[in-house]
Amino acid sequence: MKNTIIYMVTVFPNVSETFVISNILQVLDQGSNVVILAQKKKSSKNSSQSELYNHYSLDEKVLEFKEPQKSFQRYFQALILLLNPLIFFYFFKCCLVLNRVSLEFVFKLKYYKPYRKANIFHIHFAIAGDLIPLLKKIGFIKSKIIVTFHGVDAFLKEEKKYENIKHRYQIIFNTVNLITVNTPYLKDKVIGLGCPSTKIKVVPVGINLKLYTPKKLPKILPFKDPIYLISVGRLIELKGHEYGLRVVKILVNKGFNIKYNIIGTGELFEYLNNLIIELKLQEHVKLLGARSQEYIIDKLDSSHIFLMLSLKDKEGREEAQGLVTAEAQAMGLPILGFRSGGVPYTINHDTGILVEQKNIEDLTNAIINCIKKPDMYKTMSLKANTWANTNFDVSSMVEAYYNI
């Protein structure tokens, strides 16, 4: 299949995975054919980029894996498929390598058969790889395979139920052509899972810079009008939003006119909402829920400082990159927050300030320093935009993926 790239994901579209759609759109713009194989297909309403999703007719490119559920249908259809010598041969090899017999193999072979000679299989999130690395190993898949780790797929628990995933990862590391990660921090994590360092390349996840264009640069902090802080991310422990509320409380107590918008939804919504009430911040903090990409860009453009509050959670996970820092800097926002995981690789000393995790006193002082030094703030705003444009262009990301 000439100039065809197969994307593999668990769910498509997924509201929090804008980088996957950005990758796909860039490849489409370059003239390649695209097929999206998803374990679960959702409507465009599940994407924060619904306009782009519909404009590029991505729904027509998504193929969800399905197999018969009723026993009679499964056996009958499997028998028909096994009359195909190619399906029969590789079904036998799958059973032999995995040391078990499953009719699912038959239906997976049918599912992947039209694409076995595509140019590239690009698997976003290693856990979405399914049988592809194995099918590459036994010769069914002829394509080159790229697997991109994004972070959550690199943090595996040690319980027995995760042993199967670890085994699948070893097949990935031994079989695929290339592993990419978004930061050196994540590279170390993946090496720790058993991946040879020679097979890994660091490719920062990029953004569509045509979308992230501020109306005016540099940004200027107002003297009397409200100073707008913003965070974007799921309402989970990893994202650290609680500490943003506590920082705002200190700033308000010190007499600063602060407005803090948090975009995202998640399991901690009620907890954070109650904390806002407890801290008497109802006039200063808004939980805005899940929003479209267009809405987020507009809010970034009308804000002054981005709070990146990600930290290590109870399970030991940290932010692998934090794409929102690239998006915010492209809009001219300095990044102030915690030193966590791969976040330090997304800024430099001229575009943001990171302090020790959970140290709200130092973070508060960093914000006050920006407010009291408007010339420094303007310089940070300009350099943030330049840094993002230089380091996080999605076209450079795609070129790196396929030219390494």
The predicted-structure confidence for 161-200, as pLDDT tens digits, reads as follows 566 777 889 999 999 999 999 999 999 999 999 999 999 9
Mean pLDDT confidence for 6-34: 92
CA dihedral 336→341→345→348, nearest 10 degrees, is: 30
What pLDDT was estimated at residue 2?
55
Q: Which pLDDT band, with edges at 50, 70 and 90, does 392 fall under?
A: very high
Residues with Cβ within 8 Å of residue 394, at least 6 apart in sequence: 22, 23, 26, 206, 207, 208, 209
154-158, 204-208, 327-331 — which is least confidently predicted?
A: 154-158
What b/e readout covers 366-390, taking b as 16+ CB neighbours within 10 angstroms? bbeebbeeeeebbebbbbbbbbbbe
Residue type, 106: V
pLDDT for 1 beyond 60: no
What pLDDT was estimated at residue 385?
98
β-bridge mates for residue 261, sequence order:
230, 286
**What token pair was written down for 299?**
């809010």
Q: Which pLDDT band, with edges at 50, 70 and 90, does 29 fall under?
A: very high
Q: Are strands 33-41 and 144-148 parallel, antiparallel or unpaired?
A: unpaired
pLDDT over 90, % of the chain: 88
Domains, the chain, with CATH or none: 4-207+394-403 (3.40.50.2000), 227-391 (3.40.50.2000)
**What token pair was written down for 130?**
């399914």
Dihedrals phi, psi of 320, to nearest 5 degrees? -75, -40
**From the CB of residue 252, how many other CB atoms can be counted at a distance below 10 Å?**
18
pLDDT digits (tens, 9 = 90+) for 278-316: 999 999 999 999 999 999 999 999 999 999 999 999 989
pLDDT digits (tens, 9 = 90+) for 233-287: 999 999 999 999 999 999 999 999 999 999 999 999 999 999 999 999 999 999 9
For the chain, the C-alpha Rg in angstroms (whole number) is: 23
